[in-house]
Amino acid sequence: MATIDRQATTLALAHALSAAERGLAVLPLSRTKLPALPSPHRAPRGAPDAAPDRPPCHGECGRPGHGVHDASTDPARIRELFAAAPWATGYGIACGRPPHHLIGIDLDTTAGTDSSAALRELALRHLFTIPPTVVVRTPSGGRHLWLSGPPGLAVPNSAGRLAPGIDVRGAGGYLVGPGSRTRHGVYTLAPGTAHLAPAPCPQALLRLLLPPPRPHRSVAPAAPGVPGQGLVQFVRSAHEGQRNTRLFWAACRAYENGMGPGLAEPLLDASRHTGLTEAEARATIASAARMTGHRP
C-alpha cells in the first residue's frame, strides 16, 4: 500500500492548482513520477481481461485513472483527482494542450552525456537561440525547458532522437511540475524564471522536433536490397529551406543503424545535388556523427 504523506500531498495540490490558474492542465503523480491513479480497466492480478478487443479508453468512461488524459485545469476536478490519490506527492503538466501547447525539452545528466552542450551545438548548427523561458531543475541536476508550440502541430515525444541526453515531451506526454516531491528529491523553478511564460519554440528547433516530411512521390524508389538508399533519396529530394535539416536527420539515422561511414559519401553527393556546398554538407554529417556518439 502506498505511503501517505499528507503534507507533501497538500503542497502538491497547491502547486497543481497554481499551475492550473496559468492554463496548464495537471494530474496527480506518485513519488515514482508516474500517474498516481491506477487504470479502472485493469483486470485483477491473475484474471483474464474481460474484453481484450475493446478500444482503449482515454477517460470516456468518466472514471479517473487514464494517465495524462486525466489532466485538467478545472480546480474542482483537480481536487477530486488528488482526493482519490491521497498518496500523490507531485503533479504532472500535460504537454501539447491549449493555450500554451507546451513542449518540454528535458536535458538529462544521468546518462553521462553533456546534454546542454549538445543543445548548444544544435543551436549553432541550425541558427537558433533558446529565448528566456521557464526552467525547472530536476533532483538529478538536469533541466526542463518549457517552450510553447503553435496550434495545430503535434510535436511527438522522443528520447535521445534530437541528441544524446535530450528527451522531448510533446503531445500525449507530461512534465513533472515544480514543487513535486519524488523519491530522488524536489523539482524546483530555476531562479529568475518563475515569472516567465513558456517562450515560443524557435522555428528552426521546431523543424527538428517534428517528424520529417515524406519524400515526394516523384522520387525514384530505392534500389531493392541496397541498405540506406531510402535515406539518400530522402536527402536528394530536399528543397531549399529543408536541405540541411533533411541531411542532418538522415545522417543521424544512418549512424544509429550502423551505416554512417558507408553512407557518408552517398549522402554528401545527394546534398551537393540539392545545392548545399561540400563544406556545409560535410559539417552537417560530422555534427550528426557526434550527436549519435560516433567519430566523424
**What rounded mean pLDDT belongs to the chain?**
86
Extended beta strands in 42-127, E state = 90-94, 102-107
Over residues 158-209, the pLDDT tens digits come to 988 888 899 999 999 999 999 999 999 999 999 999 999 999 999 999 989 9
> Among 39-48, 53-62, 211-220, 256-265, which range has the highest average pLDDT?
256-265
What pLDDT does residue 101 have? Answer: 95
The pLDDT of residue 210 is above 80: yes
Query: At residue 239, what is the residue type?
Result: H
What pLDDT does residue 216 have? Answer: 46
Over residues 253-283, the pLDDT tens digits come to 888 888 888 898 999 999 998 888 888 888 8
Provide mean pLDDT across the span 28-46.
86
The pLDDT of residue 1 is above 50: no
Dist. CA 135–CA 269, nearest whole Å: 41
- Please, which pLDDT band fits residue 296 given cuts at 50, 70 and 90? low
| In contact, 174 and 91? CB cutoff 8 Å | no
Q: What is the 3-state secondary structure (H, E, C) of 172-227?
A: CCEEECCCCEECCEECEECCCCCCCCCEECCHHHHHHHCCCCCCCCCCCCCCCCCC
| In contact, 27 and 68? CB cutoff 8 Å | yes
- Asked: is 97-171+185-201 a CATH 1.10.10 domain? The reply is no
| In contact, 56 and 140? CB cutoff 8 Å | no
The pLDDT of residue 31 is above 90: yes
% residues pLDDT > 70 (the chain) = 86
Write the Ramachandran bin of 293: left for phi over 0, alpha for psi from -120 to 50, otherwise beta.
Answer: left
Give me the sign of the Cα torsion angle 183, 184, 190, 193.
negative
How many Cβ atoms from other residues are within 10 Å of residue 225's Cβ?
A: 6
The pLDDT of residue 79 is above 90: yes
* Pairing of β 166-169 and β 181-182: unpaired
- Please, which pLDDT band fits residue 57 given cuts at 50, 70 and 90? confident
Residue 280 vs residues 247, 249, 283: alpha-carbon distances, Å: 10, 15, 5
Domain residue limits, the chain: 1-41+60-94, 97-171+185-201, 229-291
